[in-house]
Structure 1
Amino acid sequence: MASESHTTTDHDEIRRWVEEHDGKPASVRGTEESGAAGVLRIDFPGGAGEDRLEHISWEDWFAKFDEEELAFLYQQQKADGSDSTFFKLVSR
């Protein structure tokens, strides 16, 4: 079975996928500037954690996402058919 990736800029689709995988919107600590979110990440259980990431609101996350003209590339399943949390932020 081949893994398949999808790319989207739809906020609802991104939020739904992230929340289905127990993720939370976050930015890398120390990269924020002038009160705006820094480098965007998604914090999944067992990931980098709160020592490196700061949870932020979806509103702030999507404001930075749109400002930077990003798209969300994600994978639903791994090649073996198991659930995947792979994602990447790419240029539109």
Structure 2
Amino acid sequence: MEFDLHSAGILRMLIYPIQFDPEPVKGIDRVLKMVVFADHLRLQVPDVIAAIDAGLASNARLSELIPQGHNETVICGFLSAVRVRLESPPPAERT
């Protein structure tokens, strides 16, 4: 899986809003609203998932995509959790 500039851009958009959060995973709903489901960005969920997959499969240090204080484990955990949330049905559809 190739990690290209487009994927890196999507990952930067996902990481930026949590760069100062002490617990990034708690910010997932806010990030999804601000980035993935924002009308002005028009991101497609499959593209976001593909970018996360490409980033996680790469040898790139995702924690270095933007200046921030979280280590690689925290950033990869956050991105993995975002991916899981994107693949989960919305709360109204869960049974």
TM-score by length of 1: 0.26
Q: Which has the higher helix share?
A: 2
| Structure of greater Rg | 1
Higher strand share: 1
TM-score, normalisation: structure 2 = 0.26
